[in-house]
Structure 1
Amino acid sequence: MITGGDTDEAVRQTDFDALSSRLSCFLKGYTPEDRLLGALVPLLVHYQVAGCGSEFKRFALARRLRSQFFNVLPANIGDVAAVAQLDRAVVAAKTGRFTPLKPPLINRGTYLRTTAISRTVEQFVARHRHAGKVQVVSLGAGSDTRAFGVVAQNANVHYYELDFEQTARLKKLAILSSEQLSACVGAPALPPAELPRTAAQIAAVDPTLHTDRYHLVPCDLRGLTPERALHTVPGLERLDGAVPTLVVSECCLCYLSQDDSDNVVRFWRRSLDDGEFVVYEPLGGSDQPQTAGDAGRQPNRFGEVMVKNLICRGIEMPTLLVYGTVAAQIERFRRLLDTDTQHRCDVWCKDMKWVYDHEVDDAELERISRLEMLDELEELNLINSHYCLVVARWQPQPLALAQCT
């Protein structure tokens, strides 16, 4: 169960792990559309380092993060003007065929995860193209760049990003330090003279950011319970429970206890009249009889190894084995969402091997196959079979249909 500041900090740091993987994916050419990473990554690193209290800690952290991000960051991380944009020549040099970035297995998995979720978001927006207003809520959004493109390209989308206070503060500062990022969300960039420079100044920054259609909200998800009214959550006062809303959880709910994660799902079910979840998380397996969708998965072994690896980092995934199969995920969301006869509830879940085999077209497979050699196809299939994508939707039923059920 997630308790205590140390555990929270360990979970927060997984965001930089994911960011490093997405940068590797971009540099290798898997996700050329994710070019805003070039503006976001150096600024997040700058404020993470500048927020350290001691010079020694700043030096050590800068050295570690420079290595974690493949040495594409400028030498002077402490100068915000110098890190406002990755140098294009340095980035170009890092895209060489033999540049050591993340292993091909990681790149391919990150590509699949990123594009599968983005495709689901795009499909949601397309279905409501002519709606007056729709909303996307990203839980544990962290360093995600998806909001920038969605908000800039869709005038009817209102985007909410929720995360820990410290994470939200870093992202807000990165946005306000970049004319490119701030323009995407409709926020005025701050002049360099107004940006915080010391750890104390950074810590004093209000982490909340609201524009007409983008909202960055510091929020501890453990406080979202089904008894709580939506408008009582600080930062969510503008969110309208009556309009179509997509809630995104990309490896977020899995870090909560079972009770807390169930409560978060129930909170959104009660708060939204027309809602949808897209959830990406690992499948740890189960000793229970397997369904066709779980065929070939070795019960528990993968989950046990992952649990041990996470413990070494001070992290837990309490529901990894509880909701460890496709069948368990479907049962979970049906139980939590299908709660009355006035709404229709539909739940789909597929492991990422199925997504890779059926939702990536031949031309795209050929394109990514040319980017780098991947010999471990069997291992890729095994890993993909232990992650899943859940799409769960609830909508008001016509009155006559509701009365017949």
Structure 2
Amino acid sequence: MFPRRLTSPSSEQSDPDAPVRATDNDAALARLSASQKKYFSDPYISALVPRAHLQKPRPPLINVGTYLRGTAVDELVDSWIERAGVHGRVQIVSLGAGSDTRFWRLAAGPRAEKIEKYIELDFPEVTSRKAMAVRKSKVLSPALGPADSVSVGDGGTSLRSAVYNLLPVDLRKTPGTSIAPLLATESGALLSPNLPTLLLFECVLAYMTPAASDALIRWFADYTQSGSSPLGSIVYEMFGLGDSFGRVMLNNLKERNVSLPGVGPYPNIASLPERFRRLNFTEAHALTLKDIRRDHVDADELERLSTLELLDEVEELDLVLGHYAITWGALVPESISADRKDWASWVLAPKTRERPEEE
């Protein structure tokens, strides 16, 4: 859950974004470790991690955090697709996607036919590596469709297919001049304003200024509202770093030349939904990973997790989990205001902690 130094000091000086990009490698290793330890199943992540079979497992604290993040976001994405799917097919935009495998997991699941477009955006250095890995992988490439329908462009930094599209962009730049041209194709707009759209931001907005984050979300809101379609957004990030633990975390990141300009406006969990409310979203909610572990994991699942590894750092785990949160919101146009009550129930439902008595 914490970025590590994965680049040399000289490379960081010549490329100040290298430490931020390197955090994706850390996230990929964490997901690989959690999958190998059977916290969840991800048959695709090893194809995106070089020498995956040689990688060492992450500590239990990292594995638990990765599990909670992954399963909670999975549940929110699945329930969003079910709700938005009543309007027809849907489209998902993963911003700062890195080595995420969600497209392949959805493509192999029961909701595959509901996905019209799946778009990933990230730095060109990241997309070029992923494009190469996808094309080479016998596990990943079949999901893109026939080989003659898949194209690599922009000097090897983009990959386009009928559904999945991997595109290079600096998300900090003005969306109208950076993202908009990527979505324009000879056959029409890659992203339709007439279909429900879900935005995914996993450890992305914290690395951007609040102004840049707002501009990014606002651009997609304006784009989709022109077609009167629901817009959903899910954010996973660290927050509340003004306490002693947070200051230590910030100092550790600073030593790795990583800064978090986006965390300042969000000192506590109550402040996180304000990002969406300020941008006129209809619904907005937030939970810490600590909340999710305590209230949103089944008793049977907690019991299963306890058998995977010995976790003797419960206090430290709670401290870390209390500084990471998932925030989600929905923007429902007035033209389909009848749907608003349904979107109010787009939440992570509390799980039962006691097994029902046998009849």
Query: Aligning the two structures, in what range does the TM-score lie when normalised by the shorter sequence?
Result: 0.7 to 0.9
Q: How does 1:220-239 map to 2 (within 5 A)?
A: 220-225=170-175, 228=176, 232-235=180-183, 237-239=189-191
In the aligned structure 2, how far is the partner of 1:5 from the partner of 1:270? Answer: 36
Out of 23, 41, 48, the position equivalent to 1:40 is 48
CA positional deviation for 1:15: 0.5
- The question of 1:16 aligning with 2:5 is answered no
Following the alignment from structure 2 to structure 1, what is the Cα–Cα distance between the partners of residues 335 and 216? 27
Counterpart among 186, 200, 207 of residue 248 in structure 1: 200
2:321 to 384, 389, 399: 384
CA deviations on 1:311-353 (whole Å, 9 max, x unpaired) are 1111110122322311221222211234xxxxxx111111111
User: Counterpart of 2:351?
Assistant: none
Q: Bigger radius of gyration, 1 or 2?
A: 1
User: Is the aligned partner of 1:350 residue 2:298?
Assistant: no
When residues 204 and 275 of structure 1 are mapped into structure 2, their CA distance, relative to the original with a 3 A threshold, is: closer
CA distance in 2, matches of 1:4, 1:334: 38
What SS is found at the alignment partner of 2:79?
A: helix
What SS is found at the alignment partner of 2:166?
A: strand
C-alpha spacing 1:175/1:400, structure 2 compared with 1 (3 Å): closer
Distance in 2 between the 1:367 and 1:189 partners?
A: 44
1:279–1:389 contact (8 Å) kept in structure 2: yes
In the other structure, the counterpart of 2:214 is: 262
Scaled by the length of structure 2, the TM-score of the pair is 0.81
Q: Secondary structure at the match of 2:54?
A: coil
Does the 8 A contact of 2:170 with 2:178 survive in 1?
no
The one of 89, 101, 124 equivalent to 1:133 is 89
Contact 1:284 1:304 in 2 (8 A): no
**Count of residues in correspondence between the two structures:** 315
Q: What does residue 296 of structure 2 align with?
A: 359
Q: Deviations over 1:25-77 (max 9, x none)?
A: 11111112x01123232xxx3xxxxxxxxxxxxxxxxxxxx6xx5725xxxxx
Secondary structure of the residue aligned to 1:143 is coil
Deviation at residue 187 of structure 1 after TM alignment: 5.2
RMSD: 2.7
Gaps of 5+ in 2: 1-11, 339-359
Contact kept, 8 Å, 1:151 with 1:213, in 2: the verdict is: no
Q: Is residue 210 from structure 1 mapped to residue 175 from structure 2 by the alignment?
A: no
Rounded to whole Å, the distance in 1 between the matches of 2:222 and 2:197 is 12
Per the TM alignment, residue 209 of structure 1 is displaced from its structure 2 partner at its CA by 1.2
Kept after mapping to 1: 8 A contact 2:169/2:179: no
Q: Partners of 2:154 and 2:84 in 1: how far apart?
A: 39
- 1:169 partner SS: helix
**Counterpart residue number, 1:155:** 113
1:144 to 100, 108, 122: 100
Closer/same/farther in 2, CA of residues 399 and 15 from structure 1, 3 Å limit: closer
Distance 1:400 1:245 in 2: 17
Which residue pairs with 2:354 in the alignment?
none
Task: For residues 4-37 of structure 1, give each alpha carbon's deviation from its aligned partner in whole angstroms, at most 9, with x where no partner exists.
Answer: 96221111111001111111111111112x0112
The answer as to 2:257 corresponding to 1:314 is: yes
What code does the residue aligned with 1:121 have?
A: V
